[in-house]
Structure 1
Amino acid sequence: MAGPTDALLFKDALILLGAAAVVVPVFHSLKVSPVLGYVLIGMVVGPFGLGAFAADIPWLSYVTIKDQDGIAHMAEFGVVLLLFMIGLELSLERLRLMRRLVFGLGAVQLIVSAVAIAAVAYVVTGNAAVSAVIGLALAMSSTAIVTQILAERKQLNAPWGRASFAVLLFQDIAVVPILFAVGVMGGTAEGSLFSQLGIALLKAALTVAAVFAGGRIVLRPLFRRVAQTDSPELFMAACLLVIIATSLATAAAGLSMALGALIAGLLLAETEYRRQIEVMIEPFKGLLVGVFLISIGMSVDLPRIVAEPLAVAAASAGLVAAKALIVALAAPLFGLTIAQGVRSGMVLGPGSEFSFVILALAGSVGLIGDDAVAFLLIVAALTMAAIPFLQTVGKALEKQLSPVAAPHPATLIAVPEDAGPRVIIAGFGRVGRVTAALLTEHKVPFLAVDANADTVARARNEGHDVFFGNVKQIEFLRRCGIATARALVLTMDAPRAASEVVGVARAERADLQIIVRARDADHAAELYRLGATDAVPETVESSLQLGEAVLVDVGVPMGLAIASIHEKRAEIRASIQAAAPQMEVRVAARRSLRDAKPKT
């Protein structure tokens, strides 16, 4: 029988689960990136945060993590699962189409950034070998954090997202020669430099080829057999087996484990099991990537930052600015705009998890002193923690730097002069088109407008007489003839905008019939309070239509079914109006369009 359980053995796991279950949801509710939340948690519970006071305040040892190495394996596996999921989202064909970005922009970014950083480092250190290592280490970008942000914001297929991922992929491939070069400079490699490098690269290439070939032969039959058992446990085991096996294979060849996981994801993306695998792995990926981000936060030496704020700030800002500028200037050479290059450069500018690996190796072989390594790791970790903020800055800069597009032709078509009483339809999407078709069938004149230039252009190309404009502006409504309009129909799927327009229109004309598409009963009640004549909740109408279909299909006569639906609709409308006690009673306004009298 097992002996007494030592609760402290589970302390780190409890802290990590608490961060995921309690703290991060708070950041999510505040619309702050969970990436930043995890990093900040790492700073707080790590050895340089509250952990630094655990010796003096013993109870803090229960809520802090002092041994970063204890969670290192979980953190690394989080990155592995993240790259596996990215591989599932991509495909070999899409990756083939990206080869120009991978080996073009990726190579330019890494080489030019390394040279530029090494040049600055040489001015400070005067040592070429040390400067080269620093340049290579800090030229790398964070695969884990950047790909997580791209996935969160669904930007992997955006031009800047594809460019960022291509650069990261090239950096993953370049890790082998970089680590080999650091080992050579530290005197750990034996034999001829070129022969050793050639052997390392050949070993890596053969491993990747073997993984691709083996995966194509084995994966589909393997998952078919497992799926036939109808066992979720076996399916999960098969997923983890493939991920771990491919990751360890590439790691044995000197490549990163994440690259092996990416290859496994690419191979499985072409199978019919892709979606089920995503469902199985996603929860583990999110939690373990969080562990990695916490470990990054734990590595930020807060006392050193406080002691040398100017040096840390200058080095961090200079690193991000230099790398971002290089990517921005190189982007037009590969079919991107400078604005897209700036946005990509802002997330590629910070350091990388590979910076930690390269600098740790350089320190262990005596190339760089411990104090310099510690300072550079602070710069890498601090800039990585700032990636969510830098992404937001990059998005704003992209918007500012993007060329102003020429006015859409649809926006240049003027609304016709008032041609007498007519219905104004605001919004020409699905609901607006149906409304217009019914009015046309009954020969009721109308004017259709929409605030989306593409929607207007598409409708006009199809032969509809639709005009561009913003009905939230009272001057535009006056131009549309609100003073003589028979009714204003708001069909746009924008609750806040609809409420605003109802208030503006009712203030302009007290006797105008305003019929509005509402999101639900609560929104309809709000619209009635603001002055709508009729508010039609989508949820209510869909349920009534479903109810009518059920009654007819089970044999209730059509007439009785329709009568029941009308009664239920009136009952629901009355209950909604009762929820809006401030509304004015507009019994007189509920008349047919044929009887509507425009204001004279």
Structure 2
Amino acid sequence: MYGTFASLLMLLAVAVVLVWAFRRIKLPAILAYLTAGVIAGPDVMGWIADPNEYHLIAELGIVLLLFSLGLEFSLPKMLAMRRWVFGLGSAQVLVSLALFMGLGLWLLDSSTAALAVAGALALSSTAVVIKQLSESSQTATRRGQMTVAVLLFQDIAVVPLLIAIPLLAGQGSENIVYSLLFALLKGAAVITVLMLIGKWVLPFLFREIARQRTDELFVLATLLVALVAGGLTHLFGLSMALGAFLAGMMLGESKYKHQLEADIRPFRDILMGLFFTTVGMQLSLHAVVFEFHWIVATLVVMALVKITLIQAVARAMGEHRRDAWASAVSLFQMGEFGFVLVSLAASYGLLEPRISSILIGVGVLSMAMTPLVIQKLQPLVAFLAHDEADSSGIHTDPSDEPQAPPALICGFGRVGQTVSRFLEAEGIKHVAIDNDPMRVQEAVAGGAKVYFGDSAKRDILRAVGAQHAPLIIISYADDNYAIKTLKEIRAMNEDAFILVRSRDDSRLTALQDAGASQVVPDTLEASLMLISHVLNRSGVPIRRILTRLEQERRNHYGDMHGFFPGSHTDMDPERLEKLQFLHAVPLPQHAWAVGKSVEDLDWSQRNVELKAIRRDDVEVTDLTDQIELAVDDVVLLSGKPAAVEAAERWLLEG
């Protein structure tokens, strides 16, 4: 027990150091995890003697990854992608299988071993490719959707391969057709069940959970749904990842999609890291050294076949050449299911240990290369497509790229809805986030573009495009929550103009320090509106009224801060530290400040502001340093209550 704990602790320490080091030199974290796995594996330090002990836990990372991917692909979108899934995907898998199997028969003289090798090489890495596409914001582009479509068909195709290999190994090969048909029927049945549950049960479930306003319950329910869906498909002989993808897809059209994705992201990223370390542990350094030429040769042949094939089929289907090349290059590697097929074939004695080691080396090396390839995808595709007119990047239609809304509204209460209606009337596109499930449900039913989620979470803000939005409105009157939201927005978007609504000006400075471009206090704006009506009724020209109001706003309501407290003013100790009071201090004959000029008095040390001096019933606001305080003057101070009290004693007693 202690040895296992110590091994995991050392693995975690190595992973932390390597991820930090790799990120410092601008390398993907996946490479750090693979390197950590090699170090912790049997061939180096030997901390983890059997990587298969952690395989199930690591596979949960893929399950959560596919669940979050499913959230981006609703059922209508999947139906629209069927041409890519069953056209491009099936052509890639079937033709690749045939070509690799032909090469395998020539080299291995065994049809079953050739099938195992061909199946491993024909499949690409769902985990690595989707993670890199997500990190580079390419899953919503046309090339990204083509790539995902091929990966989905590969996940489906792995099922008959897993069934066929044991049967062809002599475990009843005469029943292979029956077994495949039975697996197909089971797969269709479980997919139907999942889709029905997703349509009728899951929305009701999450609506009830969201009403409880408990983050822990929402996270637990999200994990439970993803794992139950994956377990159900696994029970019927399909991959767990496929079940999780279907569950996510069923929730992809719901108003909870961004909150769901944000909740599972920490678990997904940690488990994905563990998955990549288990992949690194499988690498045999002995095989890498002595079979390196075969590993490189196999990798080159595999990459050339898959890239050429996918690009040719995509071009034949009418896709733009840059999108075709981008999708093809992204799928050049061997995938995680390839390791499963190799392990299965080796357990039945179909593959020699030497061949298995070579294939594992090909898989690890190609997966390690993939993040670097996808990072450099634009110049690679520009070179392969011979596109001199656009050598800077890949072709994308404007509709391919996720567009940030011109305006984002955080909070869809009464104020947020009013803002939304005016923006809608002017034809200004916008989206909103709110954490009240009933309000979001009613708003969505009424046609508003509102998502359920916590706007103080960076993942949710990123999901709705806050990192690119030029205008953001924070409309809820909770200053502490607004400050949290401001900090998250400013961490990803320094240029946005952020309007923040506040009840009053008690937290004005804190909101501005957190990143607010303009704070709109309810009480002060109500005062301005009241002033405008009063002045208008008094005959003041409307132009002068508007100029005065705009001047107050530009000065951040400078002349409106502070008020004379009354008997009904909330004097709660915590609130007193946030309020700014006005206080009149009469100067009697023997007051310490009498005879001293404004310049002589060091106001900066008192944390108060001298607003005016009232003398002989005349208020003097244009104060100069030379004005001297006199007997019977009334000094008007503005500041926090404690500071005002201290300043009064100072003026009277020194």
TM-score band, normalised by the shorter chain? 0.5 to 0.7
Partner of 2:42: 47
Q: Secondary structure of the residue that 1:50 maps to in structure 2?
A: coil
Q: Note closer, same or farther for the CA distance 1:44–1:561 as it changes in structure 2 (3 Å cut).
A: same
Is the Cα–Cα contact under 8 Å of residues 548 and 562 in structure 1 kept in the other structure?
A: no
Partner of 1:277: 260
Q: Secondary structure of the residue that 1:386 maps to in structure 2?
A: helix
Which of 374, 378, 387 pairs up with 1:403? Answer: 387
How many angstroms does 1:347 deviate by? 2.4
Q: Note closer, same or farther for the CA distance 1:310–1:237 as it changes in structure 2 (3 Å cut).
A: same
Which of 372, 387, 390 pairs up with 1:389? Answer: 372
TM-score with structure 2 length normalisation? 0.60
Larger deviation, residues 139-148 vs 18-27: 18-27
**Is 1:23 aligned with 2:6?**
no
Taking the aligned partners of 1:361 and 1:158, their CA distance within structure 2 comes to 36
Q: Note closer, same or farther for the CA distance 1:89–1:20 as it changes in structure 2 (3 Å cut).
A: farther
Which of 310, 321, 324 pairs up with 2:307? Answer: 324
Taking the aligned partners of 1:559 and 1:268, their CA distance within structure 2 comes to 46
TM-score with structure 1 length normalisation? 0.65
Q: Note closer, same or farther for the CA distance 1:406–1:187 as it changes in structure 2 (3 Å cut).
A: closer
Q: Determine which structure has greater relative contact order: mean sequence separation of CA pairs < 8 Å that are 6+ residues apart, divided by chain length.
A: 1
Is the Cα–Cα contact under 8 Å of residues 347 and 387 in structure 1 kept in the other structure?
A: yes
Partner of 1:481: none
Q: Secondary structure of the residue that 2:201 maps to in structure 1?
A: helix
Is the Cα–Cα contact under 8 Å of residues 287 and 357 in structure 2 kept in the other structure?
A: no
Taking the aligned partners of 1:25 and 1:543, their CA distance within structure 2 comes to 32
How many angstroms does 1:232 deviate by? 2.3
Q: Note closer, same or farther for the CA distance 1:15–1:218 as it changes in structure 2 (3 Å cut).
A: farther
Q: Note closer, same or farther for the CA distance 1:333–1:548 as it changes in structure 2 (3 Å cut).
A: same
How many angstroms does 1:328 deviate by? 1.5
Which of 352, 361, 364 pairs up with 2:335? Answer: 352
Which of 122, 125, 148 pairs up with 2:108? Answer: 125
Partner of 2:143: 160
Is the Cα–Cα contact under 8 Å of residues 15 and 32 in structure 2 kept in the other structure?
A: no
Q: Note closer, same or farther for the CA distance 1:99–1:16 as it changes in structure 2 (3 Å cut).
A: farther
Which structure's CA Rg is the greater one?
2
Partner amino acid, structure 2, of 1:145: V
Partner of 1:14: 9
Partner of 1:179: 162
Partner of 1:370: 353
**Is 1:146 aligned with 2:120?**
no
How many angstroms does 1:405 deviate by? 4.6
Is the Cα–Cα contact under 8 Å of residues 339 and 397 in structure 1 kept in the other structure?
A: no
Is the Cα–Cα contact under 8 Å of residues 61 and 272 in structure 2 kept in the other structure?
A: yes
Taking the aligned partners of 2:152 and 2:350, their CA distance within structure 1 comes to 27
Gaps of 5+ in 1: 1-5, 52-63, 408-429, 431-492, 494-518, 521-538, 568-600
How high is the sequence identity, in percent, across the aligned residues? 33
Partner amino acid, structure 2, of 1:396: P
Q: How does 1:187-586 map to 2 (within 5 A)?
A: 187-189=170-172, 192-400=175-383, 401=385, 403-405=387-389, 561=552
Q: Note closer, same or farther for the CA distance 1:337–1:12 as it changes in structure 2 (3 Å cut).
A: farther
Partner amino acid, structure 1, of 2:75: L
How many angstroms does 1:560 deviate by? 7.8
Q: Note closer, same or farther for the CA distance 1:565–1:65 as it changes in structure 2 (3 Å cut).
A: same
Q: Secondary structure of the residue that 2:319 maps to in structure 1?
A: coil
Q: Secondary structure of the residue that 1:155 maps to in structure 2?
A: coil
Partner of 2:72: 89
Taking the aligned partners of 1:239 and 1:353, their CA distance within structure 2 comes to 25
Partner amino acid, structure 1, of 2:109: G
Q: Note closer, same or farther for the CA distance 1:546–1:212 as it changes in structure 2 (3 Å cut).
A: closer
Taking the aligned partners of 1:547 and 1:88, their CA distance within structure 2 comes to 36
How many angstroms does 1:345 deviate by? 1.9
Deviation digits for residues 334-360 of structure 1, max 9, x if unmatched? 232333222222221111111111121
Partner of 2:120: 137
How many angstroms does 1:110 deviate by? 0.7
How many angstroms does 1:7 deviate by? 4.0
Partner amino acid, structure 1, of 2:135: E
Is the Cα–Cα contact under 8 Å of residues 100 and 334 in structure 1 kept in the other structure?
A: no
Deviation digits for residues 413-457 of structure 1, max 9, x if unmatched? xxxxxxxxxxxxxxxxx9xxxxxxxxxxxxxxxxxxxxxxxxxxx
Deviation digits for residues 19-63 of structure 1, max 9, x if unmatched? 564432332333221122222222222222333xxxxxxxxxxxx
Deviation digits for residues 383-402 of structure 1, max 9, x if unmatched? 11211122245432212225
Partner amino acid, structure 2, of 1:328: Q
Taking the aligned partners of 2:349 and 2:41, their CA distance within structure 1 comes to 27
Taking the aligned partners of 2:516 and 2:112, their CA distance within structure 1 comes to 73
Is the Cα–Cα contact under 8 Å of residues 382 and 390 in structure 2 kept in the other structure?
A: no
Is the Cα–Cα contact under 8 Å of residues 291 and 358 in structure 2 kept in the other structure?
A: no
Partner amino acid, structure 2, of 1:23: L
Taking the aligned partners of 1:253 and 1:315, their CA distance within structure 2 comes to 34
RMSD: 3.2
Is the Cα–Cα contact under 8 Å of residues 344 and 394 in structure 1 kept in the other structure?
A: no
How many angstroms does 1:17 deviate by? 4.0
Taking the aligned partners of 1:551 and 1:229, their CA distance within structure 2 comes to 35
Q: Note closer, same or farther for the CA distance 1:554–1:347 as it changes in structure 2 (3 Å cut).
A: same
How many angstroms does 1:275 deviate by? 2.0
Taking the aligned partners of 1:338 and 1:544, their CA distance within structure 2 comes to 44
Taking the aligned partners of 1:353 and 1:107, their CA distance within structure 2 comes to 19
Taking the aligned partners of 1:87 and 1:290, their CA distance within structure 2 comes to 20
Gaps of 5+ in 2: 392-405, 407-467, 469-493, 496-511, 532-547, 559-654
Taking the aligned partners of 1:71 and 1:107, their CA distance within structure 2 comes to 32
Is the Cα–Cα contact under 8 Å of residues 296 and 385 in structure 1 kept in the other structure?
A: no
How many angstroms does 1:311 deviate by? 1.8
Q: Note closer, same or farther for the CA distance 1:368–1:270 as it changes in structure 2 (3 Å cut).
A: same
The structure with the largest helix share of the pair is 1
